[in-house]
Amino acid sequence: MTPFLSSPRPDRGFFHSRSARSWMALAATLAVFAGAATPALALRVCAYNLLNYDNLNSVRDAAFQTVIPAIGNIDVLSVEEMQDQTAVNNFLNNVLNAVEPGQWAAATYFDDPTMSFNQALFYRPSTVTIVAADTLGNAPRDISYYTFHPVGYTTPAVDVTIFATHFKASSGSTNEATRLVEAQRLRLFMNTQFPAGSNLIVCGDFNMYNSGEPAYQELTGSQADNDGRMFDPLNAPGTWHNNASFSWLHTQSTRTGFLTPGDGGSTGGVDDRFDFILTSAALNDGVGLDQIASTYRAFGEDGNHFNQELSAPPTIPEGQVVQDALERASDHLPVLMDFQVPALVSVSPQSLDFGTVVLGGAADLTTTVTNVAVSPADVLDYSFTGAAGFTVPAGMFAEAAGGGGDLQTISMDTTAPGVLAGTVQVASDDPDNPSVSIAVGGTVVAHAAPSLSGLATVLADTSDFGAHEEGFFTDLSVQVSNLGFGGLQALLEVYDAQITGGGGRFSIVGGFSPVGVGATAASFGLHFDDAGTTAAGDTTYTATLVFSTRDDQALPGAANRADLTVTLTATVQANLSGLGDDPTHFATLLRANHPNPFAGPTHIAFQLAREGSVRLTIYDIQGRRVRRLVEGGLGAGDHDVVWDGRNDAGRAARPGIYFYSL
Is the CB of residue 595 less than 8 Å from the CB of residue 461?
A: yes
Of 76, 78, 50, which Cα lies nearest the Cα of 64? 50
Least confident of 54-63, 217-226, 380-389, 461-470: 54-63
Percent of the chain with pLDDT over 70: 90
109-138 residue pLDDT tens: 998 777 767 899 999 999 999 999 999 876
Domain ranges of the chain: 23-340, 345-443, 446-583, 586-662
Q: Which CATH architecture has domain 586-662?
A: Sandwich (2.60)
pTM score of the predicted model: 0.71
CA angle 59, 62, 67 (to 5 degrees): 125
One-character DSSP codes across 440-484:
EEEEEEBPP-EESSSSS---EEEEEEEEEETT----EEEEEEETT
pLDDT at 449 over 70: yes
pLDDT at 536: 52
Q: Which of 7-21, 293-307, 645-659 has the lowest mean pLDDT?
A: 7-21
pLDDT band at 35 (very low <50, low <70, confident <90, very high): very low
d(CA 359, CA 369): 29
Q: Which residues contact 137 (CB under 8 A, 6 or more apart)?
A: none
CATH fourth-level superfamily of 446-583: Immunoglobulins (2.60.40.10)
* Residue 303 phi, psi (nearest 5): 80, 5
- Write down the pLDDT at residue 596: 84
Do the two domains 23-340 and 345-443 of this chain adopt the same fold?
no
At 301-330, the pLDDT tens digits run 999 999 999 999 999 999 999 999 999 999
Q: Give tens-digit pLDDT for 590-620.
A: 888 888 888 788 999 888 988 888 999 998 8
Higher pLDDT, 214 or 598: 214
Q: Which band of pLDDT confidence, cut at 50, 70 and 90, is reported for residue 10?
A: very low
Range 345-443 has CATH code 2.40.128.20: no
* 190: enclosing H helix or E strand: helix 173-193
What is 23-340's CATH topology? Deoxyribonuclease I; Chain A (3.60.10)
What count of Cα atoms within 13 Å lies in the side-chain half-sphere of residue 120?
A: 25
